[in-house]
Structure 1
Amino acid sequence: MRIQRLATAGAAVLLLAGCGGSEDAGTAAPATTTAAEESGSSLADQDAAEVVDTAFSALEEAGAAHVVGSIEESGSTQELDLRLQGEDAQGTITMDGATVELVYTAGTAYVRAPAAFWASFGMPAEFAGQLEGQWVLMPEEAAGSFSTLTLSGLVQELRASGGSEITGEVTTGELDGEPVVVVTQDDGSTLTVADDEDAPYPLLIEDEGDAPATVRFSEFGETVEITAPENPVDLNTLGG
């Protein structure tokens, strides 16, 4: 399980990858006291790789999800709050105290961020100041990288990051009073999945690797209107 960071055209974007799941402030870790073979759950009867694949498939079929999480790396915490639906996405990513807003729709990416954020990537102060509080149309060559933040792109990354190589103990328990199945890997990282034959969604990831992370997936199948911002600044014309 892992969370990767992707930098594209002067805008850093957190990219979820690994076993998908979630945690937000105040949510207790799942209790896993029941052995899988004793639960009678068809999901719990699967091995670790099968549980992960089942969860990824359910996420993909949902068509939409709300993703909230954080990652600790190099002494700093980065946070994300994104709505992913189909080929579109919108939300915020916070890095080093700077909150970056993102909209990705119809294959085009738009970013709104403080001037300090743009300056941190080497943009001259004069130009960075022009972008303060402005929606920015990202160059076409960068938009393709943002597509990995769509639901379909995320599912592809989730599958690529582990797939059939995932091993670990499968147990059952409860999360927020609901039955779950938990895959625990050798490093202590866990994937918690709803123990629901009709909706076995990934619910909680706790990544105990080099960059500890937690992420929540919720609001499966719930959609919002995602539209391109009006009058964005085109980086190609900045300073012109």
Structure 2
Amino acid sequence: MILYDGDTVHMKKRVTLAVAMTGLLLAGCTSGKSAEAQAGPTASASAAPITNGIPALTAAEILKRGSNQVKASKSYHVTGKITNDGSTMEFDFKVAGKDKIGSLTMDGGKMEMLVVGGSQYARMDKSFWTRMLGADLGKKMAAQMKNRWMKTPKGQENKSLAQFFDAVDVDKLLDETAASPGLSKGALSEFNGTPTILLSDADSGTSVYVATTGQPYVLKVGDIGGSNMVFSDFDKEFAEIKEPAAGEVIVVPDTKKKA
């Protein structure tokens, strides 16, 4: 479970992000079509090219293998959206090892996020500042920041920002997804042109698509409410993951508790 320290952010819906992300872990995505066209003789012929052996495993084994394969990849692109209590959050991240770059968009506000060499950077637009701090203080903060990045150096901590980075820790999301109970194997299908097997749970609405050819990546996970998390661009280079210029950065205070 990802914890969210709401006391560090002054906004009416301060828990929405963590709740939404946790909802993704507990629920999953819309189950999608069951690939009925693969029934009968045609289905047997289309199943023949399977090469990675994933369909022969149990649902739990498939999900664990798929999650581990994503985490073991050199890099990947993950996009999606979360819907919860009438609010929608969209996210788009490119991840390379421990480094990442991307953004969260919610209630009309956008927060850009960057992790390079253990340092965390965040940059918010006026709407996001307003959502966090209220109209007056949000407006002042946006004017003061002048679209610069806030930096938390490696080894330091800023709790107000750390909660957002924790909420989009994909390794944690995958670990909890892999621990989801109740999933069973479904039909052989396709997702974005890649042959997959569908894992689903009728009770919770969970569904996960795992590649059945090549590397057994998890390709999609989400829930019956329309939330989803989609993976692509494995092992590609993302040149945009780099430190900002010094003039575009403000270092924020360290709020880590001292021993």
What is the CA-CA distance between 1:161 and the residue it aligns to? 4.2
Change (3 A) 1:175 1:19: farther
Structure 2 equivalent of residue 179 of structure 1:
195
Cα 1:19–1:89 change in 2 (3 A) is farther
The structure having more radius of gyration, on CA atoms, is 2
Deviation at 1:97, TM superposition (A): 1.0
- Report the TM-score, using the length of structure 2 for normalisation: 0.71
Aligned mates of 2:244, 2:150 — CA distance in 1: 9
Decide whether aligned partners of structure 1 residues 148 and 32 sit closer, same or farther in structure 2, where only a CA change above 3 A counts.
Answer: farther
For the pair 1:160 / 2:176, whether they are aligned, the reply is yes
2:195 partner letter: P
Shift of 1:118: 2.1
Deviation, structure 1 residue 119: 3.4
| C-alpha separation in 1, matches of 2:235 and 2:33 | 23
1:97 is aligned to: 108
| 2:68 is aligned with 1:57 | yes
Structure 1 residues 156 and 215 mapped into 2: Cα distance closer, same or farther (>3 Å)? closer
Query: More displaced, 112-121 or 7-16?
Result: 7-16
Secondary structure (helix, strand or coil) at the match of 1:118 reads: helix
| 2:250 equivalent in structure 1 | 233
Residues 32/206 of structure 1: CA separation in 2 closer, same or farther (3 Å cut): farther
Distance 1:213 1:67 in 2: 13
Q: Bigger shift: 71-80 or 156-165?
A: 156-165
Structure 2 gap ranges (5+): 255-259
Residue of 197, 200, 206 corresponding to 2:216: 200
Q: Secondary structure at the match of 1:222?
A: coil
C-alpha change, 1:71 and 1:201, in structure 2 (3 Å) is: same
Query: What is the alpha-carbon distance in structure 1 between the residues aligned to residue 215 and residue 28 of structure 2?
Result: 14
Judging by fraction of residues, say which structure has more helix.
2
What residue is the counterpart of 1:48 in the other structure?
59
Contact 1:93 1:99 in 2 (8 A): yes
Counterparts of 1:78-117 in structure 2, within 5 Å, are: 78-117=89-128
CA distance in 2 between partners of 1:86 and 1:224 (Å): 11
Contact 2:183 2:206 in 1 (8 A): no
Q: What is the root-mean-square deviation in Å for CA atoms of aligned residues?
A: 3.6
Cα distance per residue 1:87-139 (max 9 Å; x no partner): 10001110111121111111111111113322332373433421242211247
Q: Which runs of 5 or more residues in structure 1 are unaligned?
A: none
User: How far is the alpha carbon of 1:147 from its aligned partner?
Assistant: 5.9
Q: 1:59 to 1:21 in 2, by over 3 A?
A: farther
Aligned equivalents of 2:215 and 2:188: distance in 1?
16
Partner of 2:133: helix, strand, or coil?
coil
Q: How far did 1:181 drift? A: 0.6
TM-score by length of 1: 0.76
Q: Could you say which residue in structure 2 is the equivalent of 1:133?
A: 147
Q: Which amino acid aligns with 1:137?
A: K
Which amino acid in structure 2 is aligned with residue 106 of structure 1?
Answer: G
Percent pairwise identity: 23
**Is 1:189–2:206 an aligned residue pair?**
yes
* Bigger strand share: 1
